[in-house]
DNA sequence: AAACCCGTCAACCGCTTCCTG
DNA sequence: TCAGGAAGCGGTTGACGGGTT
């Protein structure tokens, strides 16, 4: 029988557990709780302590893959792609080990990126190598990898971060001068939640679809224990 | 315009490993 | 040394958006 049927988990299950995408409010609660614990918390008690109807596992995953400070979202650089491919050749599907070599990237994100982009690239590369054994394969490498960097659906008005922005999962996303009202009806200014944890920089660069953009902190609101902190990011400049 | 298909990715599930008493 | 609980890991699923027919 499955060992992971824990009493603590099942007790939570008796209440109505939420599943699926995390809401902004849930993210805020989780960040607030973790923030208040100063690096000392337990995933099993976290949902109850934070006022969340989630399992500890779900909280852990949300934190590690999305809310944790330093997490990079959006396109992988060519260097990152090359590193992943190289490490995958050496290590196989040991995503967490691979992730440990790519600062800011999570095992889940690398795994997804592999299955959706790099696996195809490797197959294509192998085909090319078989067809042109005498050619210099490095040229094909560069061409294929540079193609990987190009967004498939270029839209001048789209968010600079990943396509998940359109899934009603705003936390961690940064929009150009947008407010939540423009997106989901809330009157709050759009947030970049993970900055709650780090000392807030006056400005910071973020890699997007079209190059690195420097964002400048426009306003900051911290409601203390209730921990609702909002950051308005303004697009400062953009390099293509 | 509508239906369908496909790609993407956040989140879930179940198993394994690690830790602690 | 062992058992039980917590955390970690990787495969899979399902929702969603965009493209195609």
| Domain extent listing, chain A | 8-67, 78-149, 171-238
Rg, Å, chain A Cα set: 20
Residues pairing with A211 in the sheet: A208
pLDDT of residue A188: 33
pLDDT of residue A88: 87
Rounded Cα–Cα distance for residues A162 and A62 (Å): 16
In degrees, to the nearest 5, what angle opens at C-alpha A195 toward C-alphas A189 and A196?
85
Please write the tens of the pLDDT for every residue from A126-151: 766 666 665 555 555 566 666 555 44
Strand B: list positions under 7 Å from protein Cβ: 7-17
**A188 CA to B1 C1' distance (Å):** 36
Find the residue closest to C16 using CA and C1' atoms. A167
- Evaluate if the CB of A115 falls below 7 Å from strand C: yes
pLDDT of residue A207: 40
Rounded Cα–Cα distance for residues A141 and A206 (Å): 26
Whose CA is closest to A231, among A197, A202, A189, A199?
A189
pLDDT of residue A36: 85
Dihedral sign for Cα A17, A20, A25, A30, please.
positive
According to CATH, the superfamily of the domain at A78-149 is Homeodomain-like (1.10.10.60)
Strand C: list positions under 7 Å from protein Cβ: 5-12, 15-19
CA dist A34 → A13, A146, A197, A223 (Å): 22, 39, 9, 16
Q: Which CATH number does A8-67 carry?
A: 1.10.10.60
pLDDT of residue A148: 58
pLDDT of residue A77: 85
Which residues 79-98 of chain A have a CB under 7 Å from nucleic chain B?
none
Which pLDDT tens digits describe chain A residue by residue (240 residues)? 223 333 333 333 345 688 888 988 888 888 888 888 877 788 888 888 898 989 888 998 899 888 888 888 778 888 888 888 888 888 888 898 888 888 888 888 898 888 888 887 777 777 666 666 655 555 555 666 665 554 433 332 333 333 333 333 333 333 333 333 333 333 333 334 444 444 344 444 444 333 444 443 333 333 333 332 333 233 333 333
Rounded Cα–Cα distance for residues A234 and A160 (Å): 12
In degrees, to the nearest 5, what angle opens at C-alpha A41 toward C-alphas A3 and A111?
60
Residues across chain A: 240
Which residues 136-175 of chain A have a CB under 7 Å from nucleic chain C?
152-153, 163, 166-168
pLDDT of residue A128: 67
């Amino acid at each position: 029988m499955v060992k992971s049927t824990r009493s603590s988990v099942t007790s939570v299950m008796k209440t109505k557990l939420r599943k699926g995408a995390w809401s902004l409010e849930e993210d805020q609660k989780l960040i607030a709780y973790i923030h208040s614990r100063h690096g000392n918390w337990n995933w099993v008690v976290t949902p109850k302590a934070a006022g969340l109807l989630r399992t500890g596992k779900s909280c852990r995953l949300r934190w590690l893959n999305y809310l944790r400070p330093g997490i990079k979202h959006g396109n992988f650089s060519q260097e990152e792609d090359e590193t992943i491919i190289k490490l995958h050749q050496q290590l196989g599907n040991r995503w967490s080990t691979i992730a440990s070599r790519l600062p800011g990237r999570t095992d889940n994100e690398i795994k997804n990126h592999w299955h959706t982009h790099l696996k195809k690239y490797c197959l294509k590369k192998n085909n090319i190598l078989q067809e042109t054994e005498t050619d210099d394969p490095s040229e094909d490498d560069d061409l294929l990898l540079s193609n990987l960097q190009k967004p498939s659906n270029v839209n001048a008005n789209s968010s600079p971060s990943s396509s998940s922005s359109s899934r009603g999962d705003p936390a961690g996303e940064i929009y150009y001068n947008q407010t939540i009202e423009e997106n989901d009806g809330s009157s709050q200014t759009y947030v970049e939640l993970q900055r709650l944890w780090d000392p807030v920089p006056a400005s910071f660069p973020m890699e997007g679809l079209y190059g690195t953009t420097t964002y400048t902190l426009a306003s900051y609101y911290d409601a203390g224990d209730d921990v609702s902190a909002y950051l308005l990011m303004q697009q400062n400049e953009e390099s293509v």
